Structure 1
Amino acid sequence: MSRKKKQPIIKQKETFRVSWLSLIGIGETPLTDNRLGIFEYSGGIIVFLAALFTYLFTLTPDIGFHDCGDMVPAVVNLGVCHPPGYPFFCLLGKLFISLVPIGNIAYRMNFLSSLFASTTVMMVYFMVIRIGGFCVPKQRLFHLIPAVVSAGMLMFATTFWEQAVIAEKYSLNVLFASLLLFILIRWQGSASHPSLSRGENSPLTSFIKGELLLYVFAITLGLAFTHHLQTIYIVPASIYFILIITWNKTQRLPSLQMTGKMLLCFITPLLLYLYLPLRAMTHPPLNWGDPQTLPRFMEYITIKAYKHFIINSPMDWIQNIWTHLVTFFPNQFTWWTVWLGIVGLVFLFKHRRTISLLLCLVILTNIAAAVRYGISNIQDYYLTSFMVFAILIGCGVLWLMQMIARIPAIPQIAAVVFLCLPIIPLSAHYKQCQHRAYYFPTDIARNLLSSLEPDSVILIKGDVNGFPVWYQRYVENKREDVALIDTPFLFQDWYIKHVRYNFPQLGVDIHPIASPGEELGYVRFRDILKKNVGKRGVYHYSDEPVPPGYAGVPYSFFVKIVNEGSNVLAELKKGDVPLTLRRDCPLDAKAKDMLRNYAGGYNNRGNNYLGAGEYSLAIYELKRALKIDASIPMIYYNLGRCYGQKGQTKEAIDNFKQALTLNPNQSGIHKSIGGLYEKGNNPQQALQEYKQEANSFPDDVETYLAIARLSLELKMPGETISACEQLVRLSPNNVEFRRNLGLLYYQNGQIQEAQAAFQQVLQLAPLDIGARQMLGRMQQG
């Protein structure tokens, strides 16, 4: 009896164990190694050409923002760009621009990015073909539709499209990811499903072919790591996939011999990182981190300089997970099609569990890494996940086609509908990604360089500000007499040595004299000013204040630094920098921010002229600012002040009111309007404006003084007393305010309040004769 009772328990445990193992793909039926025909390959070529046409039609014609102005000069000069250096990208880019003589250098690099992106789109197409197989065998071409839809969704995804038309590293990064995933999926078929019916493809041949694909995978993985460390997103998923597929094939784990060979194939391409110290030794114009020594090399490739972007709060991670998932993916594919990716994941988990887990692990690893990184362009770090999600959308279409395959006439209609799905992201994202006339970074950089005096120094802070200038200086060779200094690096010894080597005329010291507690970068910044201001033009391209002892003369969006006490007005008149932009240039968020800075620079120039009494010149500068950006309330406010000084009351009031429309909470405007009405002998209207100022800003003494003065003039004792009470509240130790309040109380018949006010005056000023006399008078009568 005991044996009969134990037997079903053992079976239940075995069933439980087997079911859990099947959840991770153990025992899964292998993926069929489909042999692709002319239709499949033709479809891939058409997809590639369609993507390339799209990207070339919307290609940026010159240098872009982001890291383009850093990457391209590093490629041209074989320099060392920002960490981790991207040696494969630099060498491949140098080869490409040398062999392809079309357009300028920036255009060639943009074209190279479009080739990377187009190839990625094609690889997504082939992966969906491999995953899906011939799902609708009665209509041979129907199985291409999910692959075409998947490729089209990625082709028009916002971030992917934006990266495809500029000279950035992310297009190559996602290309590597697609190649690695394709190799794994291809290896699963060749290693798991030898076709024994063909003599040329024996089990031994198939096994050797599978091993070779793994070695190709390892080499590709190593090359990918010499380009971008985001390749780590693929590694956990790849290890899982190789282990599971090998176990399902042989009931064993990969042999140590094969693992050793794969490690060797992976490590060998990493020798490309020797490019960094070798090129650093030649002192190229761009030499981030100067990784000549082993400690600096290790700091550089481990991206130690960017550790401050790491987020350590788990609560912030959770918030980022939610924000990124509900924002980034719908932004790429639109809410209309995101659900197809979720359906595709469920379908794939049911039919191709190992592949579904492979793709899921890639996305999960990507999310786990990206949510801990706090940078402005974090969506670029999800490009690998966007590529994977496009595959899942194709699988969702695959499931729908299988569901409707048996319904007469419906598959043909559905095919047309599915092929139209990529039109949704195309129409949603075309305007944002159309960069065909995007010359803004080029025009801004040339505006800056053309306005500098000979042999000048430009102190730059920020990638957006600096990188387009780098490109003009180090690739187009514009203004080779100008020294470019990146102020964020001034605290680094390697950077000061770099400046001394490239710009010896500046006389920069590695260890300048500093006061106790002063930050080293600031000390070196001040040392550059001390040795160069007055000898050559020194310009500051930043919103940070100028150090004490110097004055900043606004040119446009940058300032010229002069010694304190210099003739600022004369410098202002020399620094007339017009804004020159090509027509029909689209403006993205970065361009709009820079234009706002440009308008702010003209506003500062107008404010300086206003302070110097040059009202006509001030109005000229402020109107230039309005032509660039008419949404800045301070420009209208300053225009109102200028017109007010010139006696043009109507124009002044109109501009003040426009400033209020843009910013109802801006202080001083109602008070300024009130002053104009008061000068125009309209005290009642002036009083109303002063009261509105007081309602919005109840702690301004000048406003209550004006209210008290006008209320007294208009014989409004209650209003006058109320204003004086507010003055006493704001300045309780002001004897005059309390004395005047006491007199007003007395005149209004409020004897007790008057006595209290004069007693408080005596507490503050015991010898005040007027207060004693008033108290005596009130006691007598």
Structure 2
Amino acid sequence: MTGLLGLKDKSVDRIHILMGALVFFGSFIVYAMTVQRTVPFWDCGEFISSSILLAVPHPPGTPLFIMIGRLFSLLPVVADLAYRINLASVFFSAFTALFSYLLTVKIVRYFFNGDTQSTTSRWITYLGGVAGGFFVAFGQTNWGNSIEAEVYSLAMALSVLMVLLTVHYFENRGSATAVRLMVFVFFLAVLGVGAALTAFLVVPVCAISFILTTDATRRDWLVLSGCIILELLLIMLFSDGRGGPTMFFLVSGLVGLGLLMMLYKKIDWMVAFAIAALCSIMLSFELFLLVAPIAFSVCLLIGLLHMEWNLGIKLAVFLVLTAATTFTLWLQYNMTVYIVFLAVAGLAAMAAFTMLPQAKNWRMNWRSALAIMVMALIGFSVHLYLPIRSAQRPWIDENHPARDYRTFISFLDRKQYGSESMIDRMFHRRGTWENQFGWHPHMGFWSYFEGQYSKEGGTFLFWFALGIIGMYTAIKKRVEVGVPFMVLFLLCSAGLILYMNFADGTKYDFQTGDAYLEVRDRDYFFTPAFIFFGIAMGAGISAVLQYLRVYLHKRMPSLENKVVYVGILLALLPGVALGTNYYQCDRSKNYLARDYAMNILNSCDPKTVLFTSGDNDTFPLWGVQEAYSFRKDTRVLCLSLVNTDWYVEQMKNVFGVPLSLTDDEILWYPYTAPDGREYMRPKKMFRDLPRNRDVYLTPNMYDGRMVKVQDMIVDNVVISNQWKYPIFFSSPPYAESPLKLRDHATAVGNVYRIDRDPMPGLIDIDRSYDLFMNVYKFTGMNDCKVYRDENATGVFTGLGMSAVHLMDELDKRGDRDRAIKLGYHMIDVYPEYWQTYWVLADYFDKANDSAKSDQLFTQLEDTLTSFLAQNPDNQAYMMDLGMTKVEIGRRKKNEGKINEGLVLMKRGFDLNANNGYAFRKYATTLYQNQRFTDLQAAATKYTEYKMNISDPMAQQILGIKPPAGSQFDDN
């Protein structure tokens, strides 16, 4: 019996299976222990609600994940629906770890020069595989993706499986099994795009194994792999005005011609043709849906040339199947183009069938190519879910891809995020090379890379060396496996750095508003790189053991077998990653997003129309509404989406929001202006009553200011509502409204209600007090052992600010007792918010009770110290603790304490000098302590992020004027 390693010893195969099971169940148990039990922040809330509803989330729709999420929502393993869907990530990431173990074992098998049968060799193989699987499982980013409803767990499982099957294909080249493996890989690749396009990233490297024939030499493998690396270098060479995409494609074409001349006898051209057609999906879905069907027709034609059927049958089969697959030409262009194409294709087929009878003798691998195209198109069919489900008008139906083919394609190509293609944008760098490849907040690759398996710093050099040793040994022992693996890592790291082109904030464009610093950490995009490097580290452990074994064999043969004991110790190294990352990745007690969402919904009156601002005050609310059927009477409308025509139409026709506009006044259509330029706009103007004008529902200028679609719609909803439904906002409504909405926005807890007759002070004192004291949930907020990232810390700051505002209003109205009671309550449930202590201390200072004030500041210092100890890189804790130390030093006239606080604040500010909140705290504290040189330096560093040049405080400190094109520009 042959086992998974290709070995015939049944007992060893059992050990192999047990080791794989150890990796799978070990990672599964850890993930299950740390998985979030409820709705998380960011996209997860939308994915959870979309899975429950079988809805259409944001582009590109992730249909495969949504359907699988729906299946998991039906499994009665736990009561909480959000918990069930989060478990999908646990399941798939455990398989990622298992596949990583198997792939590491496959690679390490080549390290022994054919001596794979000995017990020592086998144990070295297994131990390296176990280490590789657990390095992957407990890497910080992959673990973080594995404990919440995110698409990357499924995409990564498919990616590693595809690479594993490709190595298996290489070992079985020339057999029927190899062909089946190759076809299955491409089915998985295109199917995986239904989770994330990242899943397809491994295809260009896997393709090297598939397109090279069995007589290809090591040099041929090196040349083809080297071409991929050369393409990455060409992108860097032609970026930033040095030729751009035109020169890149020109030189790439020349490289391709050179490759053709060198390898034309070593390449399976039919398979290469099919793979090239499928790879068009990496450029755009629009191109793929044109190229892939035509490529299928070409493969079909060549296949029919080899058949013994008569002309009529051949022609009928060709025309029927070609017509069925190339109908995208009709959808993309028109029926005339479609018919002309079919006519030309039919004539070409007839000519080929009659004039090339000898074609049946051509040696062409058409069966494999045709099978690849058929299975790939079947895999892509998962995307048909999007227009089919969208046509049924689910509650979440982003972009409404059922509207027409153009909308469907734009949805898949994510065109709502910008009209410039990712390929073109790649050649206009949105950050410096050192920031994109090195250390930088929210986007620097090395910042994430060195923190994957241990704490950042010099210790990473050890892990890095392990990975390099693993890759080097793989290349040395088997070029055909090692070189493609190295290229795969480079493609998933350097390639993604070049392609994603994340902005570092130093190249912000005031005219377009593009290239501001990334709003959140982008480490998840590099998950494939971290996974494949974890596998390389596992292979590195086996390589070190084998080198040690060879050394002992020459010097101390009696100790050769003892190397296994060293291997056991090295196989425990992933425990460092487990211990280092456990706290940050443990979401088992994290209910922050759920409570935040419920608190907002509980603030609203029945049947409210609630306007939210962005992802994190929208998606968790959707998730809570669907997972718990909680406050579904409230219509949650995201203002950033209200800027789109499809969402406004849904507000009117699906959500039942009061709107006076007709569909022709809402939906955009292509329009050609008299000067020949093309626009998108509605068919008709609408009456913009607040501004007393007729205008198209598109962004436009009015009274010297840009009026957004969301501004006009908010005004129209308020007018059309006629006070039928309560209208709430999660943040204050826009200040420039002609309806003076801010003058009618009454604070109710953490939200704002539009009142016809505003309440005194624009705050509902009694309702807000009841919300904070009796209604709002703060589960885990007083526990520093519950991890919260920068986002969670910032989101809850708004809750603290609202409570402090309520305290001030109570005090102004002579109700200091309730103000103090509220303050102490907030300290109990939300102890990390600094301002609560300061306001209470001010009350006691005014009452000449400095003892209580000092006690509050001491308590705040102790609290923030404990929170910072658990979250040593949390900028908010660092800034607030430093500011508190400065205040304690001022009160006690302790200059040393003041300096200690300022040093800590500088450390915090330097973590992300783009943070305006941190800058204001630091600048204000420096000014109050007359540290003017440091103040200038802080403002200078802050304005290195070009968008911040518009900050009035920075302008005042540095004596500069607003830049042209900014919102503060006098012109």
**TM-score between both structures, scaled by the size of structure 2:** 0.60
> Is 1:663 aligned to residue 864 of structure 2?
no
* CA shift digits 1:462-489 (9 cap, x unpaired): 2222212101212321112111111101
The aligned residue for residue 328 of structure 1 is 448
Q: 1:438 aligns with which of 562, 587, 590?
A: 590
> Is 1:295 aligned to residue 406 of structure 2?
yes
- Report 1:131-530 matches (<5 A): 131-133=107-109, 135=112, 137-139=118-120, 140-191=122-173, 206-244=174-212, 246=214, 248=216, 252-256=266-270, 257=366, 258-292=368-402, 293-307=404-418, 312-313=428-429, 315-323=431-439, 324-334=444-454, 335=460, 336-367=462-493, 368-370=495-497, 371-374=500-503, 375=518, 376-406=520-550, 407=552, 408-409=558-559, 410-507=562-659, 509=661, 510=666, 511=686, 513=688, 515=691, 516=702, 517-530=706-719
- Greater mean deviation of Cα atoms: 160-169 or 136-145: 136-145
Using the alignment, how far apart are the partners of 2:192 and 2:536 within structure 1?
23
> Taking structure 1 as reference, are residues 662 and 606 closer, same or farther at Cα in structure 2, changes over 3 Å only?
farther
> Is 1:588 aligned to residue 799 of structure 2?
no
> Taking structure 1 as reference, are residues 694 and 453 closer, same or farther at Cα in structure 2, changes over 3 Å only?
closer
Using the alignment, how far apart are the partners of 1:64 and 1:337 within structure 2?
31
Q: Residue type matched to 1:554 in 2?
A: A
* Cα distance, 1:651 vs structure 2: 6.1
The aligned residue for residue 803 of structure 2 is 602
* Cα distance, 1:151 vs structure 2: 0.6
The aligned residue for residue 36 of structure 2 is 60
Q: Residue type matched to 2:400 in 1?
A: D
* Cα distance, 1:345 vs structure 2: 1.5
* Cα distance, 1:125 vs structure 2: 0.8
The answer to whether the 8 Å contact 1:615/1:645 transfers is: no
* CA shift digits 1:571-590 (9 cap, x unpaired): 22222323323356823113
Q: Residue type matched to 1:477 in 2?
A: S
> Is 1:567 aligned to residue 567 of structure 2?
no
The aligned residue for residue 255 of structure 2 is none
> Is 1:42 aligned to residue 18 of structure 2?
yes
Q: 1:69 aligns with which of 9, 33, 45?
A: 45
Q: Residue type matched to 1:582 in 2?
A: T
Using the alignment, how far apart are the partners of 2:718 and 2:810 within structure 1?
25
**Identity across the alignment (%):** 18
> Taking structure 1 as reference, are residues 542 and 587 closer, same or farther at Cα in structure 2, changes over 3 Å only?
farther
The answer to whether the 8 Å contact 1:48/1:122 transfers is: yes
* CA shift digits 1:534-581 (9 cap, x unpaired): 544322213665553434333343333334743346722222323323
Using the alignment, how far apart are the partners of 1:552 and 1:355 within structure 2?
64
Using the alignment, how far apart are the partners of 2:929 and 2:91 within structure 1?
62
Using the alignment, how far apart are the partners of 2:928 and 2:83 within structure 1?
57
Using the alignment, how far apart are the partners of 2:436 and 2:929 within structure 1?
40
Using the alignment, how far apart are the partners of 1:572 and 1:246 within structure 2?
79
* CA shift digits 1:208-265 (9 cap, x unpaired): 2211111111111111112211134213212233234655289531142133432332
Q: Secondary structure at the match of 1:179?
A: helix
Using the alignment, how far apart are the partners of 2:37 and 2:882 within structure 1?
36
* CA shift digits 1:485-511 (9 cap, x unpaired): 111011211101111123325346444
> Taking structure 1 as reference, are residues 694 and 188 closer, same or farther at Cα in structure 2, changes over 3 Å only?
closer
* Cα distance, 1:528 vs structure 2: 2.6
> Taking structure 1 as reference, are residues 664 and 329 closer, same or farther at Cα in structure 2, changes over 3 Å only?
closer
Using the alignment, how far apart are the partners of 2:566 and 2:71 within structure 1?
46
> Taking structure 1 as reference, are residues 623 and 554 closer, same or farther at Cα in structure 2, changes over 3 Å only?
farther
The answer to whether the 8 Å contact 2:745/2:753 transfers is: yes
The answer to whether the 8 Å contact 2:746/2:758 transfers is: no
The answer to whether the 8 Å contact 2:48/2:149 transfers is: yes
Q: Secondary structure at the match of 1:459?
A: strand
> Taking structure 1 as reference, are residues 455 and 245 closer, same or farther at Cα in structure 2, changes over 3 Å only?
same
Using the alignment, how far apart are the partners of 1:661 and 1:427 within structure 2?
27
* CA shift digits 1:45-89 (9 cap, x unpaired): 222111111111222212222311101111111100111101111
Q: Residue type matched to 2:372 in 1?
A: M
The answer to whether the 8 Å contact 1:665/1:696 transfers is: no
* CA shift digits 1:346-370 (9 cap, x unpaired): 1122122232332233232233234
The answer to whether the 8 Å contact 2:746/2:759 transfers is: no
- Greater mean deviation of Cα atoms: 155-164 or 327-336: 327-336
Using the alignment, how far apart are the partners of 1:534 and 1:696 within structure 2?
52
* CA shift digits 1:589-623 (9 cap, x unpaired): 13332332211111122233345454444444444
Q: Secondary structure at the match of 1:386?
A: helix
Q: Residue type matched to 2:379 in 1?
A: P
The answer to whether the 8 Å contact 2:85/2:149 transfers is: yes
Q: Note the residue ranges of structure 2 that are not aligned, 5 or more in a row.
A: 218-263, 271-365, 455-459, 504-517, 553-557, 667-685, 692-701, 862-879, 894-925, 933-971
Using the alignment, how far apart are the partners of 1:93 and 1:163 within structure 2?
15
> Taking structure 1 as reference, are residues 582 and 634 closer, same or farther at Cα in structure 2, changes over 3 Å only?
closer
**TM-score between both structures, scaled by the size of structure 1:** 0.74
Q: Secondary structure at the match of 1:484?
A: strand
> Taking structure 1 as reference, are residues 619 and 306 closer, same or farther at Cα in structure 2, changes over 3 Å only?
same
The answer to whether the 8 Å contact 1:633/1:662 transfers is: no
The aligned residue for residue 748 of structure 2 is 555
Using the alignment, how far apart are the partners of 2:631 and 2:580 within structure 1?
41
Q: 1:541 aligns with which of 725, 730, 748?
A: 730
Higher RCO, 1 or 2 (CA under 8 Å, sep at least 6)? Answer: 2
The aligned residue for residue 84 of structure 1 is 60
The answer to whether the 8 Å contact 2:541/2:571 transfers is: no
> Taking structure 1 as reference, are residues 505 and 542 closer, same or farther at Cα in structure 2, changes over 3 Å only?
closer
> Taking structure 1 as reference, are residues 412 and 207 closer, same or farther at Cα in structure 2, changes over 3 Å only?
closer
Q: Secondary structure at the match of 1:248?
A: coil
The aligned residue for residue 901 of structure 2 is none
Q: Secondary structure at the match of 2:764?
A: helix
- Greater mean deviation of Cα atoms: 487-496 or 37-46: 37-46
Larger radius of gyration: 1
Q: Residue type matched to 1:398 in 2?
A: S
* Cα distance, 1:512 vs structure 2: 5.4
* CA shift digits 1:179-229 (9 cap, x unpaired): 1101111100011xxxxxxxxxxxxxx522211111111111111112211
Using the alignment, how far apart are the partners of 2:376 and 2:528 within structure 1?
20
Using the alignment, how far apart are the partners of 2:25 and 2:575 within structure 1?
17
